[in-house]
Structure 1
Amino acid sequence: MMKLDGVTVFVAVAEAGSISEAARRIGLAKSVVSERLAELERVLGAKLVQRTTRKLALTEDGFAFLGHARTILREVEEASAQLSERRGSLSGPLRIAGPVGFGVAHLGRALSAFLAAHPGIDLSLDLDDRFVDVAADGYDAVIRHGAIRDNRLIARRLCATRRVLVAAPGYLAAHGTPRSLDELEQASAVHYTNRNSDWRFTAADGARVIRPRAKLRVNNGLVMRDAVLAGIGIAMLPSFFVHEKLADGRLVRIDIGIEPEGAELYIAYPPNRSASAKLTVLIEWLRRSFGDPPYWEAGLPARAERKS
């Protein structure tokens, strides 16, 4: 008889690409994962995975079975979720991904409170600034700041956020405070490498774009903030990274009379995984936790007047 834990292991191995990574994701010993996978292959009478010294790949039978295996697990999870709803409780696994900086600064505390309110949920959170493939990597949902590039996903808005130009007081004392786009373009900049180096602004006559010289490029917003605190240059950063430093005066907001282009915070999930009760409750929890406008923008000055 085919066992559900064998199906779970097979899907984890297929999505992770290795037995060791699958074992890490589902919290089992590597030997247990190997044993359950071997048992499933014996029950099915088919080789699902081809193992070599360098990599692991699905066989033709493995590819054929994978879709069915995912359907089995999804239906079991949905059935369990429906029973939990009937009992007035939520339970079971929930796996999400999010950006590193935002996860450290804000997401962690919101999720800790969520788990305290729903102790039956087993949450896995992977923080990664790369744009993960939600379905292929086995996530229920992904949290992103900015546009969702994958049009196969269903995106649910959490809140709008602002980007602000910031610098350390020491940098501005040494180099002057830019008062226009032309002056800003001559400044030393700290750029985020996962976006292009353009700084976009919203003007009455449309978007305005400048390309300041990069003093530093880095793929993490918290490292960018620390570089700005050290006086390396000016950065355009989401308000959720800098609100506390602006409040205590360690960073200064630069106002050139035109507002940096904003962004929105989303949670997205594959259309073939309709939002489960757990995910629906999580989405509403995050919306209430962050607020709209979000709590980290409570002390920010009013938006700059737009100039053409």
Structure 2
Amino acid sequence: MEIFARVVSAGSMSAAGREMSLSPAVVSKRIRRLEEKLGTRLLQRTTRQIAMTEAGQGFYERVIAILASVEEAESFVSRGSAKARGNLRVAVPTSFGRLHIAPHLGRFLSENPDLSVNLDLSDDFVDIVGDGYDLAVRIAELSDSSLVARRLAPVHRVLCASPEYLAKHGVPISIEDLASNHVTIAATNQDPWRLAGPSGIETVRTRAPLKTNSNEVVRECLLAGVGVALRSTWDVGPELREGKLQILLPQYRASKDVGLHAVYPSRQFLPAKVRVFIDFLAGLYGTSPYWDAGLDDWLRLPSSAKAG
């Protein structure tokens, strides 16, 4: 059942085999035996991909619950031990994972030698249960759901631009000035901006000769002097401290209470491998994360709705 679930979440037998250190032939043989035992076909196979049959879909939904219960039982037995074992599947946002998780994985793995990590970097909003993840790291204002979330750190977002851009276009003196007279850039899923300031919530639609769905493209254009952007301090903290970027209109904050969260399926017993990873991240970041160092003057400024 575990092999079947991994094939579905990985999308192919070869990918599932790599994750479980099994050959594609062994994976295929185990799936075939499972189908023979059940007396029905679970997967439709082609040379390029697999797809679940109707029976396979129903079986998969029940298998996920069974495997979660098995993991809960194992976690209950080993709950008093800090030892984490097995493979941990984690989904994280692309830029954040590259900047603030990948550099620390060596220490985490050395502290947990019986644990391996499958780290997927994606800006897609993954289905944690359906896609077979143990947890996801999300930067969001979380809505109510059946998932459990632990807040790892605040997320502050600032309006900023490069000195080169400001030398050419001037410093915006108001939200109206920013909206009317400046190049403002954002990824398509972050347009328009909703900002909280002295007069309440204000909306700014971005104006730029560029459209992109990539936050990393926005960041590079910001540093290249293309325009003004609304960026998280975890993303541009070093550039702000070094003077490569300058904070603008500091009395305005992003209106949503966005935070950094670890999100995982609701379970009575949290598996040790998930618990130690979440604790590790919480210890790295905390209520005053390292990326905000040196920005205390801005963070202490009053606003009508402080983000994060």
TM-score normalised over the length of structure 1: 0.87
Look up the match of 1:148. Answer: 142
Question: 1:147 Cα shift?
Answer: 2.1
State yes or no: 1:175 paired with 2:166. no
Look up the match of 1:211. Answer: 205
Gaps of 5+ in 2: none
Matched AA of 2:120:
D
Deviates more, 1:125-134 or 1:40-49: 40-49
Percent identity for Structure 1 against Structure 2:
38
Question: 1:55 Cα shift?
Answer: 4.8
State yes or no: 1:294 paired with 2:289. yes
Whether the 8 Å contact between 1:84 and 1:91 is mirrored in structure 2 is: no
Whether the 8 Å contact between 1:189 and 1:215 is mirrored in structure 2 is: no
Question: 1:89 Cα shift?
Answer: 1.6
Whether the 8 Å contact between 1:50 and 1:56 is mirrored in structure 2 is: yes
Whether the 8 Å contact between 2:250 and 2:298 is mirrored in structure 1 is: no
State yes or no: 1:227 paired with 2:224. no
Deviations 1:257-286 (A, max 9, x none): 333335211111122575322222222221
Aligned pairs for 1:92-111 within 5 A: 92-111=86-105
In the alignment of these two chains, the number of paired residues is: 301
Cα separation, 1, equivalents of 2:48 and 2:143? 32
Q: Point out 4+ residue stretches in structure 1 off by more than 6 angstroms.
A: none
Look up the match of 1:164. Answer: 158
TM-score normalised over the length of structure 2: 0.87
State yes or no: 1:16 paired with 2:10. yes
Whether the 8 Å contact between 1:158 and 1:286 is mirrored in structure 2 is: yes
> Which secondary structure does the structure 2 equivalent of 1:33 belong to?
helix
Change over 3 Å in CA distance of 1:79–1:152 after alignment to 2: closer
Cα separation, 2, equivalents of 1:214 and 1:273? 49
Deviations 1:208-254 (A, max 9, x none): 22113133333333332211111111110110111111111211121
Change over 3 Å in CA distance of 1:273–1:175 after alignment to 2: farther
> Which secondary structure does the structure 1 equivalent of 2:211 belong to?
strand
Change over 3 Å in CA distance of 1:149–1:214 after alignment to 2: farther
Matched AA of 1:187:
H
Whether the 8 Å contact between 1:184 and 1:212 is mirrored in structure 2 is: no
Look up the match of 1:283. Answer: 278
Whether the 8 Å contact between 1:143 and 1:267 is mirrored in structure 2 is: yes
Cα separation, 2, equivalents of 1:63 and 1:210? 44
Change over 3 Å in CA distance of 1:273–1:63 after alignment to 2: farther
Deviates more, 1:264-273 or 1:155-164: 264-273
Give the RMSD, CA atoms, in angstroms: 2.5
Cα separation, 1, equivalents of 2:24 and 2:127? 24
Look up the match of 2:131. Answer: 137
